[in-house]
Amino acid sequence: MTFSSNFKTFEVMGTIKQFEDLDIWNESKGLSVLVYKNFRALSDYGFRDQICRAAVSVMNNIAEGFERNLDKEFQRFLKIAKGSSGEVRSMLRLALELEYINKNVCDELITRYTSLSSRIAGFIKYLNQS
């Protein structure tokens, strides 16, 4: 991996030119879709809206931070995205207790959000060291 003073030259498999090139954004988008699909029929509208907003917050904060064009700003937005990932996991645990989702779905989403959160933390650390 290479990284210059401008995070947009961060390389994994090539140069990152837009937030859509980031694996963490693509993963968060896919997870947002899964959250929406798993809760779209839920009649507890307040719960449904909150978990969907938190899921979308992860991907949108990654995108917004990237577009700020400053490493420190990007890190700040990545931290917010990481926090939103924790909020989704918290709500997933509540959803399981309320029997809004089954254990398999809950475990799969929590595993994927935990992994995403770790990847975001690693990216923050990398940006902080450069």
Q: Which residue has the higher pLDDT, 118 or 71?
A: 118
What global pTM score does this model have?
0.87
Q: Is the pLDDT of residue 9 over 50?
A: no
What are the phi and psi torsion angles at 15 (to 5°)? Answer: -80, 135
Q: Is the pLDDT of residue 11 over 50?
A: no
| CATH 1.10.3720.10 assigned to 19-129 | no
Q: Which residue has tokens 């990007």?
A: 74
Task: Say which amino acid occupies 50.
Answer: Q
41, burial (CB in 10 Å: exposed 0-12, middle 13-18, buried 19+): exposed
DSSP string, 92-107: HHHHHHTTSS-HHHHH
Average pLDDT over residues 62-68: 96
Question: In the structure encoding, which two tokens stand for residue 98, read together?
Answer: 């309320």
Average pLDDT over residues 87-113: 98
Condensed to tens digits (0 to 9), the pLDDT of residues 16-52 reads 889 999 999 999 999 999 999 999 999 999 999 999 9
Summary mean pLDDT of the chain: 90
Task: Say which amino acid occupies 44.
Answer: D
Residue 20 carries which DSSP code? G
Percent helix / strand / coil, the chain, rounded to 5: 75, 0, 20
Query: Taking the C-alpha atoms of 7, 11, 17 and 23 in order, what is their torsion angle to the nearest 10 degrees?
Result: -100
pLDDT band at 1 (very low <50, low <70, confident <90, very high): very low
Average pLDDT over residues 94-111: 98
pLDDT band at 4 (very low <50, low <70, confident <90, very high): very low
